[in-house]
């Protein structure tokens, strides 16, 4: 009998499986371009998104510093992924969770949260100044004032959010032997964006970081507009964003997100979420500015299963975004 000397890591718990996600060569996406494109497959995290990292790091730091203890209540505002990441980690650590959401929360994510025993608080009206995010944050403050032993993880201002992604950057650089020329990062809280940007700055790297923002987001000074696809962009300014550490930024709209999702599904057989599709479209728009033989990376932030009723539902797309009809037709190479 032939045996193989293969060592597999033993994970001590489900949270021990968070991070160390694959970096996937997206060669089929750029077959007619002379640069390399890689996707950091954050859907491989057990909760299905990059926010597993953020949730775990923030909670571990709070537990270790004595700011929270078993039995306490965690409160957070989320459009979906942070909520799921927190729900999993809270259940593991014996913490209660209250999540403030708005109407853009999709039904699949809501079912996951209820299964994890998270309590859902829903706001139904946006603030005139601040939109749905502003309304969610207002509700968070009310909950903190009414729930004993409650703690706000505050993904919007907790410095442990960007600190989370110093290790994420290390993973990418290790996989590419230190050669990373461009990194595309979707905006939201800007925790991932600035965590990566700070790491690049502090280590004096040559990597150019490109922020991918949503049309209708206010982060780079644009007017607030209605957006259908959650998970990127923001209705209020970011507490983390430092534009001096960002090489460039590019806008994508809901149609770009849908087109990118269908494109990477067709060409790479990867079913990813809306912000990931936005980044695929952003690279496509930016491609002519990328130098030959450059190594480019982006985050495939979450799983596409949570978008089966929206982005991957052709009837929904034609009804809500009729201009997206071309999104799910064969696109050919770049």
> What is the per-residue pLDDT for 50?
97
pLDDT at residue 331 above 90?
no
Residue 332: pLDDT over 60: no
- The mean of the pLDDT values for the chain is 93
Residue 225: helix, strand or coil by DSSP? Answer: coil
- How far CA 252 is from CA of 130, 236, 262, 298, in Å, comes to 20, 18, 15, 15
The pLDDT value given to residue 235: 81
| Confidence band of 334 (pLDDT split at 50, 70, 90) | very low
Residues 264 and 69: their CA atoms lie apart, in Å, by 42
In this prediction, residue 333 has a pLDDT band, given cuts at 50, 70 and 90, of very low
- The whole-number average pLDDT for the span 41-64 is 97
The stretch 52-70 carries a mean pLDDT of 98
As a whole number of angstroms, the distance between CA 88 and CA 116 comes to: 7
What's the rounded Cα separation, in Å, for the pair 97 and 60? Answer: 15
Distance (Å, whole) CA 138 – CA 301: 27
The tokens of 35 are what?
A: 């640069």
152, β-bridge pairs = 75
Q: Is the pLDDT of residue 274 over 70?
A: yes
pLDDT at 111: 94
Instruction: Name every residue whose Cβ is closer than 8 Å to that of residue 172 and which is 6 or more positions away in sequence.
Output: 23, 38, 40, 180, 183, 297
Distance, CA of 60 to CA of 144 (rounded, Å)? 20
Terminal CA-to-CA distance of the chain, rounded, Å? 48
Mean pLDDT, range 290-318, rounded to an integer: 94
Distance CA 330, CA 148 (A): 54
Hey, how many other C-beta atoms are within 10 angstroms of the C-beta on 111? 11
User: Of the candidates 126, 124, 108, 130, which has an alpha carbon nearest to the alpha carbon of residue 308?
Assistant: 108
Q: Which pLDDT tens digit goes with each residue over 112-121?
A: 999 999 999 9
Per-residue b or e along 232-258, where b marks 16 or more CB atoms closer than 10 Å to that residue's CB:
bbbbbebebbeeeebeebbbbbbbbbb
126-169 residue pLDDT tens: 998 888 888 999 999 999 999 999 999 999 999 999 999 999 99
The number of residues making up the chain comes to 334
pLDDT of residue 5: 56
């Amino acid at each position: 009998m032939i045996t193989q000397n293969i060592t597999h890591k033993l994970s001590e718990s489900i949270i021990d499986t968070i991070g160390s996600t694959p970096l996937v060569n997206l060669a089929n996406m750029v077959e007619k371009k002379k640069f390399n494109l890689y996707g950091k497959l954050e859907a491989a995290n057990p909760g299905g998104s990059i926010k597993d990292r953020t949730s775990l790091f923030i909670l571990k730091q709070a537990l270790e510093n004595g700011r929270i203890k078993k039995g306490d209540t965690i409160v957070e505002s989320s459009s979906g992924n942070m909520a799921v990441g927190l729900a999993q980690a809270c259940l593991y650590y014996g913490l209660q969770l209250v999540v403030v959401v708005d109407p853009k929360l999709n039904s699949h994510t809501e079912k996951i949260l209820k299964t994890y025993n998270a309590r859902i608080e829903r706001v139904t009206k946006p603030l005139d100044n601040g939109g749905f995010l502003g309304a969610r944050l207002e509700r968070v403050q009310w909950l903190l004032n009414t729930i004993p032993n409650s703690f706000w993880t505050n993904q919007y201002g907790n410095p442990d959010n960007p600190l989370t992604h110093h290790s994420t950057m290390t993973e990418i650089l290790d996989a590419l032997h230190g050669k990373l020329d461009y990194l595309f990062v979707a905006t939201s809280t800007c925790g991932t964006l600035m965590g990566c940007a700070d790491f690049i700055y502090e280590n004096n790297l040559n990597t150019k970081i490109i922020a991918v923002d949503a049309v209708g987001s206010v982060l780079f000074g644009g007017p607030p507009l209605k957006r259908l696809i959650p998970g990127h962009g923001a209705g209020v300014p970011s507490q983390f964003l430092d534009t001096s550490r960002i090489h460039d930024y590019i806008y994508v709209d809901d149609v770009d997100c849908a087109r990118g999702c269908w494109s990477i599904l067709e060409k790479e057989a990867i079913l990813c979420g809306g912000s990931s599709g936005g980044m695929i479209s952003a690279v496509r728009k930016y491609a002519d500015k990328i130098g030959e033989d450059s190594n480019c990376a982006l985050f495939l932030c979450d799983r596409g299963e949570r978008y089966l009723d929206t982005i991957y539902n052709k009837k929904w797309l034609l009804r809500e975004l009729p201009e997206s009809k071309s999104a799910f037709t064969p696109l050919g190479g770049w």
